[in-house]
Every structure is written in structure tokens, then in C-alpha cells.
Amino acid sequence: MGVIPWVSWYALRRYSAYPLGSAAEAVTNTFFGVMRASVLLALWRARPGLGGYDATDAVTFSFLTQALIGPVQIFGGMELGQRIRTGDVAIDLHRPVDLQAWWLADDIGRAVSTLLLRGLPPMLVGGLLFTLRWPGPGTAAAFAASVGLAVLLSFALRYLITLSMFWLHDERGVQAVALVLSLFLSGMLVPLVAFPGALGEIARALPWSGLVQVPADVYLGRRTGDGLAAALGFQAAWAAGLLAAGRLLTRVAQRRLEAQGG
């Protein structure tokens, strides 16, 4: 096994090591899924067909987004931030593996673990309590691809934010702003289809929409054919651009570390 696959496998085992903690988080996600589903049901009863969704779509969206909280890491940053703060990142930079690739591999293992342990329970319980929409095999495969791209995009965004610590020495302010943007512009709180006019168009054009709204639309069958290709291309393009920016910023940060630390 190569170094990068090993990092992902190790991360998967590490993040799966505390099943009771994951179960508690799954219960929390499910509880808030029920609350959000009830709120959205009331909204869609008052505004039927809002944004092209029906009530079943809205309820499914609630539990689907709760399932995606962990994999796309809406809340929380990266362990790399702590290593930059303590200076341990100097050890990471001396590994015979690219810094960005190492932490991407770690994040993939984390995402798979949270998807299995924290993502499936909300959907299963939601299916018992409400009428949810379930995808066919083709839609399920497209959704899996979209979730994979969402994880990649999430990492690219969080990696850039974490690298800001090389200059700011404390990323909490940036993290707070990023959290607000992620919550409102990803579709996590309210589907972006409910945003009016130009506000909705702008929100759907920004990278955060690729974290939740795009995978949800794929799952609900709202993206098919050319629309599906465009949706996946949107996620891939933003992920590629942000990863490239992260690679460039890593080189700048490494030169800064060498200049300061010798």
C-alpha cells in the first residue's frame, strides 16, 4: 500500500475508533433533522412548490443535509491548524509526501468514517418518521460522485482557511466568517432554491453551494442529463481551482516558514 492510501486507511480507522461518540453525534444530527423537517414542512405548506420543491423534497432535504454535515465538515476546521500553531507543521513539511496531499488523504478517511457512522442514521430514522424520496441506482451513483466532489471541495476551502494561520497565527476569526458563509450559502439551513431572485443566483454560483445544495439536487433527481454533467462540472471546477490555489499558497507559506525558522 502506498503512503497516501495508507494515510486514508489510517484516518478511517482513527475516526472510527470511538463508535459511541459517533452514535451520540448521529442522534444529535437526527434530532435536528426532525426539527428542521417540521419547520420546512410548515414553510412548504404555506408556500407549496417553493423553488420547485414539493413537501417530500423539502423533508428529504432536511435529513440529507444532516447526513452531509460530517462528510463535508460544515462545523470545524482541520487538525493541521493546531500543528501550525504549535510549529509541528515543520515536521509535516519534511515528510517525503506533499503537505496538501497528506492532509487530503487524511480528510478522505475522516469523511468516509463520518458518512457511515453519522450520515446513515439520520436518513434511516427520517425514513421511518416521514415520507422521504429515495433514489434509483443511476441517481444513487450520481449522488455518490457528487458527494465525493463535495468532500474534495470542502477540503480545498478549509485547507486555504487553515493556511491563513501562517500569517494570522490564529484562524478563529477567519473560521467564524467561514462558518457563517458555509451555513447560509451551502444550503445547510435553508435550501438555496428558496432564496429570491439575484440573491439565489449568486448563492448558487459560489463554491459553498457545491457542499450541500448540489449533492441534494442530484439526490432529488433535479439534475439529469446535461444538467447533471453541469452540476458535477461546477463542483469539479471549483475544487480544482481552490486546490491549485492551496498548492500555490503552500509553497509561499513554506518559504515564509523557512525564512522565519531557518
The per-residue pLDDT for range 104-127, each reduced to its tens digit, is 999 999 999 888 888 888 888 888
Maximum average pLDDT range among 32-36, 42-46, 121-125, 143-147:
143-147
Q: What's the whole-number mean pLDDT along residues 242-251?
A: 92
Inter-residue contact 41 to 58 (CB < 8 Å): yes
* Domain limits, the chain: 3-261
Q: Is the pLDDT of residue 82 over 90?
A: no
Inter-residue contact 143 to 50 (CB < 8 Å): no
Residue 257 has what pLDDT? 61
> For 64, what's the count of Cα atoms within 13 Å in the CB-facing half-sphere?
29
CB count within 10 Å of CB 249 equals 17
Cα Dmax for the chain: 64
Residue 121 has what pLDDT? 87
d(CA 10, CA 178): 28
Reported as a pLDDT band with limits 50, 70 and 90, residue 259 is: very low
* DSSP 8-state class, residue 208: G
**Which pairs with CB-CB distance under 8 Å and at least 24 residues apart come from 171-175?**
171/77, 171/81, 175/77
Q: Of the given ranges (32-41, 104-113, 202-211), which has the lowest mean pLDDT? A: 32-41
CB count within 10 Å of CB 79 equals 13
Q: Is the pLDDT of residue 77 over 80?
A: no
d(CA 61, CA 56): 8
The per-residue pLDDT for range 53-66, each reduced to its tens digit, is 888 888 999 899 88
Inter-residue contact 160 to 246 (CB < 8 Å): yes
Residue 36 parent element (H or E): helix 19-46
> Could you identify the residue written with the cell 452531509?
68
Residue 223 parent element (H or E): none
Enter the pTM of the model. Answer: 0.89
What angle, rounded to 10 degrees, do the helices at 226-261 and 99-114 form?
A: 130
Residue 2 has what pLDDT? 60
For residue 172, what is its C-alpha cell?
478563529
Rounded to an integer, what is the distance from CA 5 to the centroid of its chain?
A: 21
